[in-house]
Structure 1
Amino acid sequence: MRSIWKGAITFGLVNVPVKVYSATEDHDISLHQVHDADGGRIRYQRRCEIDGKIIDYANIARAYDDGERTVILSKDDLASLPEERSREIEVVEFVPSEQIDPIMLDKSYYLEPDSASPKAYALLRKTLETTDRTAIVHFALRQKTRLGALRVRGDVLVLQSLLWDDEVREAAFPALDEPTRVSSQELDMAMSLVDQFASDFAPEKFTDDYQEQLRTLIEAKLAQGDAMDTDETFGRTPGESEGGGEVLDLMEALRRSVDKSRGASGGDADAGAAPKKKAHSAKSKTG
């Protein structure tokens, strides 16, 4: 891994020099755009609307337009901002870990000690573990001031950037304003279904089905060209539906789900183990 940033965690008079690394990576198959008629690559050009010339990245600046005037901001202008020049991950408070709402978590970064002695790093890590608290930090990275949560993962300090409070939308849905009665029978049946699927989370069990199917499609296309039959490639019966089915009331759907799960477990001693479920692609996002 290559570090993307160097700085220091600061709290009180304590200074912990660190290197910052991206903690996650993207394994999705890379696709590009082409003209469907002849396969020619689609290229995007950075063309100036005044002189019509194609502009190199080195000559591109940022600008703000208030409707009447335009202010051009060079890379040097942006780099001169005090926050951008700061190399501190400043601890502003230590909060109970359970108070961090997961919806606010954004990107994750590993922090590596960057000094001759990692004692200060180890001390901070041990303190967070012992107190079961998360450090809320303030830092600047890639031309943005960020709020972050500093926590422990194994032997490593992890910095997770947080969304600002006003970046989390309010969930206001009229349907939830109406009182809804859930019967004890429905609740018991739903809890029984939960018990059937109960397990300990093991992320290595799950795979990105979409990416695996996309790779299969690409390999079949490479081998067979346009003569490839997608139904044959994916073992489908021609015209087979991908979804739908009869509409059931809630209790009947719960009852059938419980019976199906029990049948899949075979009723043996391992009945409490959850059957393997399909994992959805982590890259499938909706707005």
Structure 2
Amino acid sequence: MSFRQTHLAVGGRIRNRKVCEVDGQELRQDEIGRGYETATGTLVEITDADLDNMPLPTAKAIEIVAFVPADSIDPIQIGASYYLAADGVGAKPYELLRQALQRSSKVAVAKFAMRDRERLGLLRVMDKGSSCGLRWPDEIRATDQVPVPDTTVTVTVTDAEVDAAVVLAETLSGLDMSELRDEYRAALEQVVAAKAGGERPAAAQPAEPASAEVVDLMAMLEKSVADA
């Protein structure tokens, strides 16, 4: 349930109209762009292409930061909840993560970009999907209302792969929340600085096309454990 703002004197509804400060014209949404105001008051135009091309690992993927016990996360940090699902090439890594979290009784701290900013998320197993955050009971949708692909049917994950993922989860169990940084903001500041100086922002490196045939999960897991 939500409320509307009204004029107390006459009961009329109050609407937010978007008006240009230069010519006083009321604008439609498709006529409105975005800009970043610098310390000198200059507005630097930032386009969708600028945001899409930022060299940021989390721009088009979810980066797992660490695996931690669920009770180690302070509930005050938990915000909006989302359902996470995957199919195609991402189905097997998703199912592997789901089973590893389930077997290790841990949750995963992750970073991802959404709505023009990098966010910190909490992944936990919930039926066949994963979610993050807490809400009032009447705000939580039942999982049968969400079209989550059944990865247990579409992909096969071996015990060896799950065991390797659990080892990785144990390896990445140490996490100092104070050390986490918003890399999206840092990348956006670089874009603004470049455009304000009349330069072309650094472009993101094109991602190599992935296919189900070339994804070697065991090799990736072993390398991740070694790097950790």
Tell me the TM-score normalized by structure 2: 0.50
Q: Give 1:51 shift.
A: 1.3
Q: Which residue of 1 aligns with 2:53?
A: 80
| Unaligned stretches of 5+ residues in structure 2 | 139-228
1:119 offset after TM fit, Å? 4.9
SS at match of 2:120: strand
Cα RMSD for the two superposed structures: 2.9
Which residue number corresponds to residue 146 of structure 2? none
Q: Check whether the contact 2:68–2:108 (CA below 8 A) recurs between aligned residues.
A: yes
| Change over 3 Å in CA distance of 1:151–1:50 after alignment to 2 | same
Distance 1:119 1:71 in 2: 42
Structure 1 residue 82 displacement after superposition: 3.1
| Counterpart residue type for residue 91 of structure 1 | I
User: Does the Cα contact within 8 Å between 1:88 and 1:139 map onto a contact in 2?
Assistant: yes
Determine helix, strand or coil for the equivalent of 2:27: coil
In 2, distance between residues paired with 1:80 and 1:117? Answer: 22
- Give the corresponding residue for 2:27: 55
Deviates more, 1:64-73 or 1:102-111: 64-73
What is residue 43 of structure 1 aligned with on the other side? 15
Any conservation in 1 of the 2:58–2:118 contact (CA below 8 Å)?
Answer: no
SS at match of 1:93: strand
- Higher relative contact order structure (alpha carbons within 8 Å, sequence separation ≥ 6): 2
Alignment of 1:97-116 (within 5 A): 97-115=70-88
Distance 1:104 1:31 in 2: 27
Q: Do the aligned residues in 2 keep the contact of 1:84 with 1:144 (CA within 8 Å)? A: no
**Residue deviations 1:145-197, cap 9 Å, x none?**
11222111233212449xxxxxxxxxxxxxxxxxxxxxxxxxxxxxxxxxxxx
The question of 1:136 aligning with 2:109 is answered yes
Q: Distance in 2 between matches of 1:54 and 1:68?
A: 23
In structure 2, C-alpha distance between the alignment counterparts of 1:120 and 1:50, rounded to whole Å: 51
Counterparts of 1:1-287 in structure 2, within 5 Å, are 28=1, 30-60=2-32, 61-83=34-56, 86-115=59-88, 118-160=91-133
What amino acid is aligned across from residue 41 of structure 1 in structure 2? R
2:47 partner letter: S
Q: Give me the whole-angstrom Cα distance separating, in 2, the residues matched to 1:118 and 1:85.
A: 18
Distance 1:85 1:118, change over 3 A: closer
Please identify, of 139-148 and 66-75, the stretch whose mean Cα deviation from structure 2 is larger.
Answer: 66-75
Shift in Å, 1:141? 0.9
In the alignment, is the contact (CA less than 8 A) between 2:52 and 2:59 conserved in 1? no
Q: What 5-or-longer segments of structure 1 have no aligned partner?
A: 1-27, 162-202, 205-287
The amino acid of 1:34's aligned partner reads T
Q: Determine the C-alpha separation between the residues in 2 that align with 1:117 and 1:70.
A: 39
Identity percentage of aligned residues: 37
Number of residue pairs matched?
135
CA distance in 2, matches of 1:135, 1:41: 45
How far residue 118 of structure 1 moved from its aligned partner, in angstroms, is 4.9
Larger radius of gyration between Structure 1 and Structure 2: 1
Matched-pair contact (CA < 8 Å) for 1:84–1:143: no
In structure 1, give the amino acid aligned to 2:6: V
Partner of 2:149: none
